[in-house]
Amino acid sequence: MSRQRMDSPRAETPPIAPPLDPCFQPAALENRRFVEAALATDASVPLTLAMEQTDGSIFHSATDLFPATHPRATQNFNHVERLIKFLLWSRGGFRVHLAGDAATTQALAQQLRAYYRDTAAGQFDASVIAGKIFGRPLEMVCAQEAPPERSHSAPLGRHLEGCRIGFDLGGSDRKVAAVQDGRVVFSEETVWDPYFQSDPRYHYEGIVDSLRKAAAHLPRVDAIGGSAAGCYVNNRVKVSSLFRGVSEADFDTHVRDLFLRLQREWNVPLVVVNDGEVTALAGSMSLRQNAVLGIAMGTSQAAGFVTRQGHITSWLNELAFAPVEHRDGTPVDEWSGDRGCGAQYFSQQAVGRLLAPAGIVAAPDLPLPEQLKLLQSHMDTGDARAVAVYETLGVYLGYGLAHYAAHYDFDHVLVLGRVTSGAGGEVILQRARAVLAAQFPELAARIALHMPDETDKRHGQAVAAASLPAMR
C-alpha cells in the first residue's frame, strides 16, 4: 500500500528553484508555510512530539496544527507523519509521545498506527528503527504533557597518540590509513561492491585486507578505529546498507558481531561508528570548532553532528532516509520505498537521476560511480549541462540545511564526499550559500559552510576514525 496523501494544497514554486528540478518543493518552506497558516487561524493546536529511546533519552520537537474545524485540518496528518519520520531517522526511538489536545492527539495516534502497520514505507521505518535498532515495537502514546527531555552525550575520538589504523567503509570503496602520532604514513583506497554481496566473507576479507596493508607500515598497532555506513551500537552492527545482500540468518551469525570478532583477532582497542559521525568529528578536528554538522555526499548520504561541547549524542543522524521534500512525485528511495528522502538529493543517486534532465547521456547500466565520473569529465570542460547538475545539487543543499537547522544546533557545516570532488564542489557551496542568503538570512549570518582541502579530503576521515579508540 502506498502512503496516502490528504488534500495537499498546491505549493508555490520556491524563489530560488533548482535548474533541473523546477517542481522542487523543499520541506523547509513547506513546514514554514504550514505553521504560519496554522498560527494565522488564531486557534492553532500546539503539538509536542517526544521521541523516547531505550536508554531513557527523550528528545522534543514542537509544531502547530490546524484546529479540527478548519478546512485544512486534513493536512495535519501529513505534516505530523513527515515530522515523525524525520525524527525517527535523525533522533531514533521506539516510543513517540504525542502531547497536546486530547482529541487531536488521539485521532493522530490512530492514523499513525494504521500508517506504520499498513503501508510499506511505514512498515520499513517501524521495523528498522524501532525493531532492529531498538529491539521494540513502535509505539504511539498520547499525553497531555510530554515527558521531560533527557539526553546522554559523550566525547568522541581525538586520540592521536601511538600507532593507529583508521578505516572508512563506503558503498563503492573502502579507505584505510596508517597513522603514527597523528601523522598519516600510509593510505589506500580500494574499490569494492558490498551492497548486494550475499556472502559475508566478502566484507570480512575486504576489511582484513585493508587492515593488514595499513599494519605493514607501522611498527606496531595500538588501536583501530573505523567509520562505516549504518547504525552501530557498542561495535555491533544494527542496520547497514553495506550488508543488504546478506540473508537475515547470515547477518545474525556472521555480521552482527563482525567488529567484535576483529577486535578479538587484533587484540587492541577497536571502535566503529557511523560514518556520518566521523565526518562531523573530522570537520570539528580540522576546523578546531564545535557545533558542527557533517554531510558526506557519496554513494549515499551520511551525516553526523558534534555538539557545542564537542560531544556526540545518542541520535542516529541517518539523514539519508530523512525527508527533505514532501510532495507526491518526488524521487523514491530504492531501499525504503519512501519519497523525498535525503539520499536522493545529496549523493551519487542524485547525480544519476539528474544526468538525463541535464541532457547528459549515460548508458542505462552504467554504475553510479561511473556516472559521477562522466559528470566530472563534462565539468572539467566547462560544459554548461554539468554546471546545471551541480547548481541543482547546491539549491537542494541550501534548502536542506535550512530544514536541518530546525532540528540541529550548528554553526558550521562540513560538506564532503565524492560528489563534491573537483570544480563542481564549489558550485554546490555557492548555490547553497545563495539560497540561505535569499531565503534564510538569519541562518546565512550564523552558519559557515566548509569544504575540506585536498589533504583533508584524502586523509581527514581516516585520521578522525583512527582517533576514535582510547589507548589501554
All structural domains of the chain with their residue ranges? 41-151, 154-277, 281-463
C-alpha cell at 455: 589533504
* Whether the predicted pLDDT of 348 surpasses 70: yes
On whether the CB atoms of residues 297 and 451 are closer than 8 A, the answer is: no
Q: Is 320 exposed, middle or buried (0-12, 13-18, 19+ CB in 10 A)?
A: buried
- pLDDT at position 7 is 40
- pLDDT at position 313 is 85
* Whether the predicted pLDDT of 443 surpasses 60: yes
- pLDDT at position 3 is 38
Least reliable range by pLDDT among 7-16, 268-277, 301-310, 342-351:
7-16
Q: Per-residue pLDDT averaged across 124-131, rounded? A: 96
C-alpha cell at 39: 498560527
- pLDDT at position 368 is 93
On whether the CB atoms of residues 25 and 15 are closer than 8 A, the answer is: no
On whether the CB atoms of residues 347 and 331 are closer than 8 A, the answer is: no
Strands 45-52 and 58-65: antiparallel
Strands 95-100 and 139-143: parallel
Nearest CA to 28 out of 42, 11, 43 is that of 11
Residue tagged 527533505 (cell numbers):
324
C-alpha cell at 300: 549515499
On whether the CB atoms of residues 371 and 355 are closer than 8 A, the answer is: yes
Q: How far apart (Å, rounded) are the C-alpha atoms in residues 413 and 428?
A: 13
* Whether the predicted pLDDT of 390 surpasses 80: yes
Q: How far apart (Å, rounded) are the C-alpha atoms in residues 335 and 424?
A: 27
> Do 154-277 and 281-463 share a fold?
yes
Q: Is 36 exposed, middle or buried (0-12, 13-18, 19+ CB in 10 A)?
A: exposed
pLDDT band at 8 (very low <50, low <70, confident <90, very high): very low
pLDDT band at 409 (very low <50, low <70, confident <90, very high): very high
pLDDT band at 12 (very low <50, low <70, confident <90, very high): low
Under DSSP, the state recorded for 216 is T
Under DSSP, the state recorded for 40 is H
Q: Per-residue pLDDT averaged across 36-50, rounded? A: 97
Calculate what percentage of the chain has a pLDDT beyond 70.
96
pLDDT band at 1 (very low <50, low <70, confident <90, very high): very low
CATH of 281-463, one of 3.40.1110.10, 3.40.250.10, 3.30.420.40, 1.10.150.170: 3.30.420.40
- pLDDT at position 9 is 41
Q: How far apart (Å, rounded) are the C-alpha atoms in residues 230 and 239?
A: 5
* Whether the predicted pLDDT of 171 surpasses 50: yes
CATH class of residue range 154-277: alpha beta
Q: What angle do CA 66, 68, 73 make, to 5 degrees?
A: 50
Q: Per-residue pLDDT averaged across 149-164, rounded? A: 89
Sheet architecture: strand order including 270-274: 183-191, 173-180, 163-169, 223-228, 270-274
C-alpha cell at 366: 552504467
Q: Per-residue pLDDT averaged across 1-22, rounded? A: 63
* Whether the predicted pLDDT of 471 surpasses 60: yes
pLDDT band at 379 (very low <50, low <70, confident <90, very high): very high
Q: Please state at what angle helix 27-40 crosses helix 76-90, rounded to 10 degrees.
A: 130
Q: Per-residue pLDDT averaged across 35-60, rounded? A: 96
* Whether the predicted pLDDT of 454 surpasses 70: no
Least reliable range by pLDDT among 86-90, 306-310, 374-378:
306-310
First vs last C-alpha separation in the chain: 52
pLDDT tens for each residue of 192-210: 999 889 999 999 999 999 9
- pLDDT at position 312 is 85
- pLDDT at position 271 is 95
Residue 9 CB coordination number (10 Å): 11
Cα dihedral 29, 34, 38, 40 sign: positive
Q: How far apart (Å, rounded) are the C-alpha atoms in residues 169 and 223?
A: 17
On whether the CB atoms of residues 360 and 424 are closer than 8 A, the answer is: no
Cα distances (angstroms) measured from residue 363 to each of 355, 378, 387: 11, 15, 20
Q: How far apart (Å, rounded) are the C-alpha atoms in residues 333 and 349?
A: 9
